[in-house]
Homo-oligomer: A and B are copies of this chain.
Amino acid sequence: MTFSVAATTAAVPPSIPAAMPAAQPQVAAVTGRCAGCSARSKGLCAALTAGELPDLSASSRPLDLLSATPVVMEGEEAEAVFTVMSGMLKLYKTLPDGRQQITGFATAGDVFGLAAGQGYAYTAETVTASTICRMPRAALRRMMERHPAVQGRLLAMTSVELSAAQDQILLLGCKTAVERVSSFLLALSRRSRPLPDGTPSVFLPMPKVDIGAYLGLRPETLSRVLRKLEEAGAITRLTNDRIRIENPAALEAAA
């Protein structure tokens, strides 16, 4: 799954495009859509050669979403998969009494909505305004049959996700609050660009309660741990949503 519209491309009409039949005269334009997509080299799309892009463009549609918009609901019949082009989403499970556990955050290039069974395993909701690309399940199946590399890519991506899930199991099952937060900050810093001056930093667009729901901690605890890490000189809180890693080795030791 996956493909995407370049961030610099003019917005595609977001209204109910999924129902539109593949119009022949648009094929060329549609090819251009995926070819110029910012996620072209990521997610599922990376499995396809340039010549195979029309297939991709024809079977997928971009969507522009505001923040806090639900995309799929846990348990709902899984009719499509999605690729993130820009923005961030949270994926979470809910217990009957309302407790929520965030199983992951999805950012540019990530794919979500793959279901092992009939229904989605989790709810997906935008954290920031996001652009995502929607591909019906049947189209994905067709893509896999037509382009074997897609299936291999999907397997590789699922394996990486499984490995990440097992790391999270280790974190939740064994680690203390300080260790969890340190691990989280380090993992994020590995995936993000350092500041202009070269020091590593992380961007946290999601509210603290969501970070807590991901790490199995309450927001109060998260706040206290961050203060402790700052007092220890390991990090500096630049703004509410950006943290500079002053001492990666100290975080490493705490994780």
Q: Does A66 contact B (CB under 8 A)?
A: no
Number of interface residues of A (CB under 8 A): 38
Task: Find out whether the CB atom of A101 lies under 8 angstroms from the CB atom of B155.
Answer: no
The answer to whether A116 touches B216 (Cβ under 8 A) is: no
User: Is A32 interfacial (CB 8 A cutoff)?
Assistant: no
Stretch from A23-31, A40-48, A160-168, A235-243 forming part of the interface with B: A160-168
Does A205 count as interface, using CB distance less than 8 angstroms? no
Residues of B within 8 Å of A209, CB to CB, are: none
Beta-carbon contact of B93 and A166 below 8 Å: yes
Query: Is there an interface contact between A169 and B103, defined as CB atoms closer than 8 Å?
Result: yes
Residue of B nearest to A161 (CB): B162
Q: Is the CB of B165 within 8 A of A162?
A: yes
Q: Report the bound CA distance from A159 to B159 in whole Å.
A: 8
Instruction: Specify which of B116, B166, B168, B215 is in contact with A121 (CB 8 Å cutoff).
Output: B166
Q: A122-B166, A151-B155, A155-B155 are in contact. Are A160 and B101 (CB under 8 A)?
A: no
Partner of A174, one of B95, B151, B155, B161: B95
Which residue from B103, B155, B215 sits with its C-beta under 8 Å from A158? B155
Tell me the minimal C-beta distance from A156 to chain B in angstroms. 7
Query: Residues of B contacting A160 with CB < 8 Å?
Result: 116
Residues of A within 8 A of B (CB): 93, 95, 99-101, 103, 114-117, 121-122, 144, 148, 151-152, 154-156, 158-163, 165-170, 172-175, 213, 215-216
